[in-house]
Copies of this chain bind each other. A is one copy, B any other.
Amino acid sequence: MSKPTRQLVYEGKAIDVSIERWGDRAAEVVEHPGAVAVVAVDTERAITLVRQQRIPAGGPLLELPAGTLEHGEEPLAAARRELAEETGLSGGRWRTGPAVYTTPGFCRELMHLFLAEDLQRGDANPQDDEEFELVRWPVGEIAAHLGEIEDAKTLLGLLLFLGEHDGPAAFR
């Protein structure tokens, strides 16, 4: 495979698009620095999710706390930062789950999943443009709520968490 070349063709506020060429093949690619999402379980064995308006989805979605990597940031550091900002949860024992491409046909985003347990509750500190409603479920009730989930990373993270108890460990 020859070395790829990239040409920026759209530079937006949140989204950049490049044409990437590999020899005689080319693709339009939405640039992305990578992302993190956290299955966040506190000392009371409740999971915290965030409900927020998602313009691309046409309404509110219930999601794992998640966010985008800042320049040069390690995924675990980003996950701890985003979790604290969005939910006020901190501390705890952290384990690393799979990293998966969310939409590899057209976007470079790699999503790193984490499991954090024994988290301590505190005050959230959302950024100005973020409005969250926090939703807490006892972990024993997650399975009954799966049908409410319309976000891919969230359904994936919850299934990986539920599978910890009867399958090979997904979080190390």
Query: What residues make up the interface of A, taking CB atoms closer than 8 Å to B?
Result: 4, 9-10, 12-15, 17, 20, 22, 25-30, 53-57, 61, 63, 68, 98-111, 143-144, 146-147, 149-153, 155-156, 159-160, 162-163, 166-168, 170
Contacts and interface: CB of A to CB of B under 8 A. Distances in A.
Contacts of A55: 4, 20, 22, 25-27, 29
Contact of A15 (B30, B56, B61, B110): B30
A151 B17 contact: no
A105 B15 CA distance: 11
8 contacts: A12-B17, A12-B28, A14-B27, A63-B104, A102-B152, A146-B168, A159-B160, A162-B167
Nearest to A20: B55
Copies per complex of this chain: 2
Contact of A152 (B22, B28, B150, B152): B152
Contacts of A163: 159, 162-163
A31 to B, nearest CB: 9
The 9 lowest CB-CB distance pairs between A and B, nearest first, are A10-B10, A27-B55, A100-B152, A54-B104, A57-B104, A159-B159, A156-B156, A56-B108, A29-B56
